[in-house]
Amino acid sequence: MSEKAFLQIKDLSVQYTSDHQTIHAVNGTSLRLERGETLGLVGETGAGKTTIAKTILRILPDKAAKVAGGEIWFDGQELLGLKEEEMRKIRGNRISMIFQDPMTALNPTMVVGYQIQEAILLHNSCTREEAKTRAGDMLEKVGIPRERYDDYPHQFSGGMKQRVVIAMALACNPELLLADEPTTALDVTIQAQVLEMMSGLKKEFQTAMVMITHDLGIVAEVCDKVAVCYAGVIVESGTAEEIFDHPAHPYTVGLFGSLPDMTGTRNRLTPINGMMPDPTELPSGCYFAGRCPHATAACRSVRPEMKHLGGTHDCRCIVKGGEQ
Amino acid sequence: MAKYILKRILWMIPIIIGVIFLVFTLMYFTPGDPARNALGMTATEEAIEAWNAEHGLDQGFWVRLFNYYKGILHFDFGTSYTNGVSIAGEILSRFPYTILVGMLTLVIAVAVGIPTGVLAATHQNTWIDNLCMAGTMFFTAMPGFWFCLVMVMFFSLRLGWTPVSGYETWRHYIIPCVAMGVGSSAGIARQTRSSMLEVIRQDYVTTARAKGQKERNITYNHCLRNGMIPILTVIGGFLAFLISGSLVSEQIFSIPGMGVYMFKGIQQKDVPVVLGCTVVIAIYFCVIMLVTDIVYTIVDPRMKTAMISISKKVRKDGKK
Ligand SMILES: Nc1ncnc2c1ncn2[C@@H]1O[C@H](COP(=O)(O)OP(=O)(O)OP(=O)(O)O)[C@@H](O)[C@H]1O
Ligand SMILES: [Mg+2]
């Protein structure tokens, strides 16, 4: 693990402050991703997935959020220490993000075409006309006629807005794409088209992808690797086969419970009894201990380390890790 | 949209008829004898009667009201009781001064107010924010005339840079417009700050940042455009009260505008002058409201849909 990966996150911690409380959203997350690979980042709501993605792009809210520690290496550069101006050249160009909520991600006072063209114009030395043409091409690529370039977001349906958001993110052929539930607002046929499009991009430009999703079907379909996130830590990671066929962490087992194997039909994550620990007061031991059917006294007092299970399969559990 | 604008313009007619009726009635019933005011205490009964007949005051309420409406159709507001000068002519010569001073004041108010508000919002809770807000507090609390006088004392009397009063050259307008503009910028700055604070948190601002957009563009292009509607409302309000609000600067700097004219009319119980000014203000008010609404739709395209659908709804309800 000494060689630097294309994207490598080391021990990242992010905290939010609101009402004088500290919310521990990300608590020592580590991830690795190579060019052309797709990593599925799964976990319950509030697990810190969006926060991780925003931290990579350094677009967390200035005042509320603080990166408490860790490093993010992208193609040999450490992003967290980069000057704002350098970072700005990476955003939307080499790394871009598809946002979770298409209803609020678009500026309501600007035509959609302009919003796509913006990134193209910022990062390429081309004329306004060329940028406009390319933005029109992007619209068509996501299945929206280019005649709608001059329409405003409120004139689009939710699914179409999502496609505009996707077009915006793909406009500069990013090397790393952070897709935050990119298909949640889409119907099944469009969903398939969008996934197809993203796969095409992966092949054509060797784009690496972090796919945040609740849809295990999508994970099975497009992801090479999977990382399971719980209360801001990665509790298990490995190739998709390793995770689907041999889930080790009790949380993963719970999540993937109803999904028989990788050939299974589309399934949402299965709900697990109980709630995630309060991010303002995390327990001293394993964060999952409160809901875990296998929890022992040790689990409640000792914070488990990541254990290597063979291959690329890692698991953060003192009881289950290792025995399969 | 053109249909909507036309409809709004047509609506102005009944509004103005109503306003005239109200003001005319009010003036009719306010006590006071204009003939005596004009001719003085020593005037004879005959002289008073003759004066009343000359000004049509010997007739009944309805006839006088009707005659007034008829006059307005020909842009005839009658003549002043005190000096017999045509009111329409006076208004025509005074209106441009008021508008000129008002617009220059507004330009300065916007040019100072919006950047101040933006600066305060983007540096929320820092000393910059506090300084900006303390400044706006100061200018809100200080009356406009005080600021005018301070500026005159300093720039005109001490430094001799600008003339003290008058309206002949552009240099005469510097102090009135700057003094009133900076004073009015406070409201715009406060509204800009709170609008911007609202908008800065929105997701689409993060989206713009994620595209690699420059911070300056994000603030002035993405955010300000979205926060503009309430700011426009403040500006519209300023414009709407421009004529009466111009009194202070016109009085101090001897600018022959509408504000002083109406004020004198009220003081001297010069009924036709007050009426004439009121009608002009009513028309002006309607026009400003319409322009503000049109600017809304330019700034925020969602307003267009909303506005047209509201006017359709009104029509439907009316049919029921
Ligand atoms: N701006 C913010 N201010 C304060 N707390 C925040 C903020 N954004 C997120 N959080 C908190 O950080 C934690 C992680 O949130 P995050 O949005 O990263 O979760 P997520 O995994 O993306 O969830 P979901 O699947 O619902 O999108 C949550 O506890 C959330 O309440
Ligand atoms: Mg999220």
pLDDT band at B310 (very low <50, low <70, confident <90, very high): low
Q: Point out the ligand 1 atom lying closest to the alpha carbon of residue A44.
A: 25
State how far the Cα of B276 lies from the Cα of B72, in Å rounded to an integer. 9
Q: Is A49 in the pocket of ligand 1 (CB under 6 A)?
A: yes
Is B207's CB within 8 Å of A165's CB? yes
Report the pLDDT value the prediction gives residue B320, as an integer from 0 to 100. 43
pLDDT value at B77 more than 80: yes
Beta-bridged to residue A26, according to DSSP, are A14
Query: Side by side, which strands form the sheet with A77-78?
Result: A21-33, A7-18, A65-74, A77-78
Q: pTM here?
A: 0.83
B201 touches A: beta carbon within 8 Å: yes
State how far the Cα of B224 lies from the Cα of B117, in Å rounded to an integer. 10
pLDDT value at B309 more than 80: no
Token pair 């860790």 is found at A70
pLDDT value at B214 more than 80: yes
Burial class (CB in 10 A: 0-12, 13-18, 19+), B134: exposed
Q: Residue B305: its chain A contacts at CB < 8 A?
A: 154
Is A104's CB within 8 Å of B213's CB? no
Q: Residue A108: its chain B contacts at CB < 8 A?
A: 204, 226, 300-302
Query: What does the angle CA A238 – CA A244 – CA A245 come to, to the nearest 5 degrees?
Result: 100
Taking residues A53-77, what's their average pLDDT?
A: 92
Tokens of B102: 């008002």
Helix, strand, coil percent content, chain B, rounded in steps of 5: 80, 0, 20
Pairing outcome for strands A233-239 and A307-310: unpaired
The tens digit of pLDDT for each residue in A287-298 reads: 998 888 888 888
pLDDT band at A270 (very low <50, low <70, confident <90, very high): low
- CB-closest option in A61, A109, A122 to B212: A122
State how far the Cα of B143 lies from the Cα of B136, in Å rounded to an integer. 12
- CB-closest option in B212, B222, B300 to A119: B212
Is B204's CB within 8 Å of A168's CB? no
- Residue A95's Cβ-side half-sphere holds a number of Cα atoms within 13 Å equal to 26
Q: Is A27 in the pocket of ligand 1 (CB under 6 A)?
A: no
Percent of chain B with pLDDT over 90: 28
Report the pLDDT value the prediction gives residue A261, as an integer from 0 to 100. 46
Q: How many H-runs (helices) and E-runs (strands) does chain B carry? A: 16, 0
Higher local confidence (pLDDT), A273 or B119:
B119
Please give the torsion angle defined by the CA atoms of residues A120, A124, A128 and A129, in that order, rounded to the nearest 10 degrees.
-90
pLDDT value at B207 more than 90: yes
> Does the complex come out with an ipTM higher than 0.90?
no
pLDDT value at B275 more than 70: yes
DSSP 8-class letter at B79: B
Is B204's CB within 8 Å of A118's CB? no
Is A119's CB within 8 Å of B214's CB? no
Which DSSP string corresponds to B125-183? TSHHHHHHHHHHHHHHHS-HHHHHHHHIIIIIIIS--S-SS-SSSTHHHHHHHHHHHHH
List CB contacts of A281: < 8 A, sequence separation 6 or more.
none
State how far the Cα of A190 lies from the Cα of A201, in Å rounded to an integer. 16
Report the pLDDT value the prediction gives residue A1, as an integer from 0 to 100. 45
Taking residues B31-46, what's their average pLDDT?
A: 78
- Long-range pairs, A130-135, Cβ under 8 A, ≥24: A134/A171, A135/A167, A135/A171
Q: Residue A152: its chain B contacts at CB < 8 A?
A: 301-302
List CB contacts of A297: < 8 A, sequence separation 6 or more.
none
Higher local confidence (pLDDT), A287 or A270:
A287
Taking residues A304-315, what's their average pLDDT?
A: 88
Burial class (CB in 10 A: 0-12, 13-18, 19+), A251: buried
The tens digit of pLDDT for each residue in B219-251 reads: 999 999 999 989 999 999 888 888 777 888 888
Pairing outcome for strands A233-239 and A225-230: antiparallel
State how far the Cα of A162 lies from the Cα of A104, in Å rounded to an integer. 10
State the CB neighbour count (10 A cutoff) for residue B95. 17
Looking at A259-263, B51-55, B115-119, B300-304, which range is the least confident one? A259-263
Interface of A with B (CB under 8 A): 54, 57, 59, 61, 63, 88-93, 96-97, 99, 101, 104-110, 115, 118-119, 122-123, 152, 154, 165, 168
Report the pLDDT value the prediction gives residue B317, as an integer from 0 to 100. 56
- CB-closest option in B201, B211, B300 to A119: B211
Nearest CA to ligand 1 atom 25: A45
Q: Is A16 in the pocket of ligand 1 (CB under 6 A)?
A: yes
Amino acid residing at B142? M
The tens digit of pLDDT for each residue in A86-100 reads: 999 999 999 999 998
pLDDT value at A33 more than 80: yes
Residue A16, SS3 per DSSP: strand
Taking residues B133-148, what's their average pLDDT?
A: 87
CA distance from start to end of chain A: 24
B307 touches A: beta carbon within 8 Å: no
Which domains are present in chain B?
Answer: 2-73 (no CATH), 90-267 (1.10.3720.10)
